[in-house]
A and B are shown apart, each in its own frame.
Chain A
Amino acid sequence: MTRPRVAILVFPGTNSEDETLRAVQAVGLDGELVHWSVPERLARFDAFILPGGFAYEDRVRSGAVAAHDALIDPVIEAALAGKFVLGICNGAQILAEAGLVPGTGPLRRPSAAFAPNASGRFQSLHVHVKLVVAPERVPILAGIEPGAVIPAWASHGDGRLAAPSDELARIERDGHRAFIYCDRDGNPVAAPNGSALDCAALVNRAGNVLAIMPHPERDAWTFNHLDASRDAARGDTQAMLAPSGGIRLFEHFARALRGGVPA
């Protein structure tokens, strides 16, 4: 059986492509880095991931320049055709600027943004996020259980969901807020970046485009997970290299690409 092909987009300034590629490969997908200079190569992929970083140095606004880059044209086309598109951190900002999430307005006329953190500072924190929509609402994460809690690293200066109040109401009412910040037990906590609705991830109407601010790929292995399991694994290479909670997001993504069939 042919493995689904996933393009991991690389803009000038992207910096999380390697760990994203490793996570994709670990869940049995055929991942490949595609650089900004060869957008025509995107035609042959089944799904797309926009990883974290600072595309185009975040000039003008986070994600704004990349959202108008030629590399995004085929991604928009694919998203509208129902293919899966996952944006992580800067990738999430790009999807918001491209109008793909929440997807309530015209393309490239953003109705929401991941704006500068309320603190005014870049923040790097280990966090947990919780699914707050029905699993059927996120076919991009096939098989994910209701209320799933996923660990990740929030590492951004611009991760605060911002939108006019009527748009925020629409985001909440229509289930565009896919994940919120929570503690390890799934209890909601205030978003560390001041995000409206304590939102950590947005999903579009069809559920095939997900934009998540914290990095699950940076908590994909025990050595970069922040709790007692890492301490317990010290000195045990196999245990240290074992998958961690963040890999689950990629497992569900892979399952979606296999038509709902688990690995």
Chain B
Amino acid sequence: MSAQRTFAVTLTIPDNEAFTVYETLGRLGIDVARVVRADIWVFDVDPGAGDLAARIASIETIHNPNKHRLTERSSDGPAAGEVWIAARVEAPATLVAGRPIPGVQAIRRRTAWRLLDDQGADIPAAELSRAVDAFLCNPAFQVAITA
């Protein structure tokens, strides 16, 4: 029996990948003012795994305190306005950089995207869907998950 816990890792320094997405979406005629990206890590953990956040932070492989913020999500799915890109066929990992994390049975990774307008609000769902179809997701091997 395992529980699922979900963490988001975001950059506290400028995100070049998000900027590249912003530029490319502009080229595709999809008007956004800001792109926000997060690495999502979904862990299957043993009950009573303890302070997983502290353990993840301490190994400094998926989270570098000099440039990342680590946040535990209350839900194991995307927030409203967010899209997660995941592999269509997943092979959950058990190691991070070749090392197990005590209490963690399986690890899945997604990329979360949030596209904002010039008021800081999420762009309309139809526009997000257009961005997903045109660029963010390759349906040949990926799926897009929305709330």
Contacts and interface: CB of A to CB of B under 8 A. Distances in A.
- Tell me if chain B binds chain A: yes
Interface of A: 56-57, 59-61, 64-65, 68, 70, 97, 108-113, 115-116, 118, 120, 162-164, 167
Nearest to A68: B24
Interface in B14-51: 16-17, 20-21, 24, 27-28
A108 B134 contact: yes
B138 interface: yes
B131 to A, nearest CB: 11
A230 B27 CA distance: 48
9 contacts: A59-B20, A60-B20, A60-B136, A64-B138, A68-B27, A109-B134, A110-B138, A118-B91, A167-B140
A111 B20 contact: no
Interface residues of B, number: 21
Q: Chain A interface secondary structure, helix, strand, loop or mixed?
A: loop
A209 B71 CA distance: 45
A226 B139 CA distance: 37
A56 B20 contact: yes
B20 A163 contact: no
A117 B122 CA distance: 34
Given A68-B28, A113-B141, A116-B87, 15 more contacts: A57-B16, A59-B16, A59-B21, A60-B20, A64-B135, A68-B24, A68-B27, A108-B134, A109-B134, A113-B140, A115-B87, A115-B140, A115-B141, A162-B141, A167-B140
A60 B17 contact: yes
B63 to A, nearest CB: 19
Contact of B140 (A57, A120, A163): A163
Contacts of B76: none
B78 to A, nearest CB: 17
A60 B140 contact: no
For the complex of A and B, the 8 pairs showing the least CB-CB separation, nearest first, are A162-B141, A115-B141, A113-B140, A59-B17, A163-B140, A59-B20, A113-B141, A112-B140
A221 to B, nearest CB: 35
Given A59-B16, A60-B17, A109-B133, A97 B24 contact: no
A108 B133 CA distance: 10
Contacts of B134: 108-109
Contacts of A57: 16-17
A106 to B, nearest CB: 11
A164 B93 CA distance: 23
Interface in B82-133: 87-89, 91, 93, 133
Contacts of A61: 138, 142
A31 B140 CA distance: 34
B140 A65 contact: no
A97 B134 CA distance: 11
Among B20, B89, B134, which residue has the most Cβ atoms of chain A within 10 A? Answer: B20
A110 B140 contact: yes
A167 B28 CA distance: 26
Among A56, A60, A112, A118, which residue has the most Cβ atoms of chain B within 10 A? Answer: A60
B114 to A, nearest CB: 15
Given A163-B140, A164-B140, A167-B140, A68 B135 contact: yes
Nearest to A63: B138
B20 A120 contact: no
Contacts of B21: 59-60
